[in-house]
Each structure stands twice: as C-alpha cells, then as structure tokens.
Structure 1
Amino acid sequence: MTGREFLEPDSVQQRLYLDGFKRLEVIQKIFNELPKADQNLCNHGSYFLAANASLCGLAANNFFRNVLHVRRAFIASALPMAVIPFLSTVAVYEGFVREPLFSGQLDCEVCAVVRGGLTGAVVGGLYPAFLALPLNASLAARYFSSPLPGKENLVRFWLSVSKPVFRKMSWAVLIQALTGLYLATKHHGIYVKILQQMDASRDTEELQA
C-alpha cells in the first residue's frame, strides 16, 4: 500500500480516512457546526414525510369507511390510522436512509435517493392504505354496516372495494414518493458538505504538519 490513493482528490479512501467511532465523532462535530437550517432538515425532515403518511392514513380510512358505509367508531379507527403510519415512516426512513447515510455506510447518492423514494411511496403511501382495509373490514363486520360476501366471493369483493380507494390514493403515493426523493437528495447534499469539511480539515492538518 503506497498511499497513492490518499493523494487522489476524489479517492474513496480520502473520504474514509477516519474509521469507526472516531469518524462518527468527527461527523457529529461538523454537523453541529452546520447552519441551523441544515441541522433542522436532518433532524426533523423525516417528520414531514411521516406527517404526510398520517394524512394518507386518514384519507384511506375515510375512503374505506364511505365505501363500506361505516358510521361508527370514527375516533377508534382514525387514531391508529394517524399514529401507526407516522411512527412507521419515521422509523423506516431513519433506519433505511438517514442513519446509514450519516454513519458513512451509504455513500451512493442514487442509492440514497432510491431508498428515500421507496420509503415515501411504500411506507408513507401504500402502507396506510393497506392498513386501512382490514381495520375497516372488521368494523363493517362488527356493526353490519355493509353486507359481506361468503368465502367463495371474498377475494372478488375486497378487490372491488379496494380498487376505487387505491385509485384515489395513487396521487398521494406519487406525492409521497417525490417527497421521499427530495428529502433523501437534501440529506445526501448535507452529507456531502460534511465530507467536504472533513477533507478541508484534513488538508489543513497536513499543511500544518
């Protein structure tokens, strides 16, 4: 190992010259020196995506209630449809995008952006709609708000019920996907800023040495 790769300005080794806990400490130190706008975006950006997921959950819940003519237990159905998608979206985005990115495990911009878009579309958009279906199906069966079919027509019935709801939710899924893409792009940009400052600090230390 000649060390030539450390002299190349764009080498991966130059960006990863600090390993493990020391690297994380340096990243955190530089992060604390960033503008407050960047810090807030990193710390609270996933909450915006999660808030949209809650709205998707409430919308899907309302659509299924109307289709199945459910008029009772509004709060009992709305509360989990707001809370569960919010918590799930935050947890998945943090564990799937943000934490790997700022720990140095996810350097690829395309990978980070794709992960953000998938998280927004699947967890923040589709998941609330899928969650609303069994919830409202159980309410419809409990309160006899809509005649339910026998086992032989069960799949066809729920497909016919779900189709218009998922058609209406398609725009919400698209918006969530774009929001996830945007958020992951901004987070990766902030991560690049941190890497650039790490490189600048390293160059300064080498000049002083």
Structure 2
Amino acid sequence: MHLKVGNGPGLSRAVIAEMLIKNFEKLPDIDQKLFMYGPLYLGGNAGLAGLIANSLYRRTLNVQAARFASNLPMAVLPFLTTCALYNAAVSQPLLTGELNCPTCSLLRGALVGVVGGGLYPMLLALPLNFGLASRYSTAPLPEKGAMLRYCVDISRPVFNKMRAVFLLQAFFGTYLGSRHFQSYTTLAHITFGKSEDLQD
C-alpha cells in the first residue's frame, strides 16, 4: 500500500509538515512516546554494540590499557550517530510527509540499525584498538602493504561473533520503522481526515 497525503496539489510540503507536527499531540500517548524515545533505544543498542566490538578487538589485539578511554567513545559515538541517522532517515521524513511508503520506512529502519548499530561500531573500534596495540606493542603489526589483509583477518572473527548483534539491530530497526509508519498513518488520518487517499 502506498499512502498519499494531502488535500491536492495546492498544499506544499512545508504546509503539510506544519499540519502534521501541529497534530502530533493528538496521537495516542504510546505512539508519541515510541516516536520520541524509539530512536534512543535503537541508539542504546548501538552503544552496547560499540562496547561489544571494542571488547572483541581488545581481546584479539591483547590490549589491556586505556579501558575507560576506549570504552567511552565506543558507547557514546554509536549512540549519537544511530539516533541522528534514524531521525534523519525515518522520523523527520515521516513527520514532514516526505516519507509515505511503508516498505521504505521498514527498509530505512533496518538499514540504520545495521549500519549505525553494527557496522559503524566495528569500523570505529578497529582503528582505535589498532592504535592502542601499536602504542603499547601488544600485538605483532603488519608490514607495509599488508595492512588491509591484516585488518580483514582480525575483523573476520569479530564480525562472526557480532552476527547476533547485526540481526538484533536489523530486527529492532525494522520494527521501529514499521511502528513509526503506523503512527504516521494515524497522524495523517487525524490531520487530513477523509481527504486521505490510499493507493495500491
């Protein structure tokens, strides 16, 4: 199903967005809370994924030093990035009427979950712990020209252990995208009433 919002060609995107946002408080309380706090839960999962990725790389590279200094950015940066990505890709487009495709909402949610809450923490943890391993000489470093292969080799077991995290983030991102689209549909009906037009 494809949801077309609006009263006709006379309504601009800005007017539609203003009308949707004005009626946001008319949504059921649970929908409002999920819309506002859902991205924070997804971001919290991403922060946890960052701590897991950091721990796995620390073990792989035998890094013992700077535990707090490495854990702090690995929790905070994925949290902030995932929240910002979800708001930019799903929440704001829904609230402004720019995203009116349920499948797109689900896919965007899943993609944000996997990229922001899975891949990004891994990509962040690798250079951080590689730098610590180099500084404290805790693991043999690759020769020049073999850096890429070395990074792939040490990342493969980390990736395998984080598969469950990727699946969880994809599932939660999909669920959140679905629920947010349902809330958007309700909000659109409240805002535009019988002028709402459903198309296949």
Residue 136 (structure 2) aligned to one of 143, 146, 155? 143
* Identity across matched positions, percent: 42
Equivalent residues in 2 for 1:55-204 (5 A)?
55-200=48-193
Partner of 2:24: 31
d(CA) in 2 for partners of 1:132, 1:68: 11
Q: Between Structure 1 and Structure 2, whose CA radius of gyration is higher?
A: 1
CA spacing shift, 1:94–1:16, aligned 2, 3 Å: farther
Q: Greater shift after overlay, 106-115 or 144-153?
A: 144-153
Cα displacement (A) at 1:24: 2.6
- Judging by fraction of residues, say which structure has more helix: 1
Structure 1 residues 152 and 18: alpha-carbon distance in aligned structure 2, compared to 1, 3 A threshold: closer
| Structure 1 gap segments, 5+ residues each | 1-9, 204-209
User: In the TM superposition, what is the alpha-carbon distance from 1:26 to its structure 2 partner?
Assistant: 2.1
Retained in 1: the 8 A contact 2:5–2:97? no
- TM score, norm. by length of structure 2: 0.90
Distance (whole Å) between structure 1 residues aligned to residue 70 and residue 94 of structure 2:
35
Structure 2 portions without partners, runs of 5+: none
Change over 3 Å in CA distance of 1:128–1:15 after alignment to 2: farther
The 3 A distance-change label for structure 1 pair 134 and 109 is: same
Aligned residue pairs, count: 194
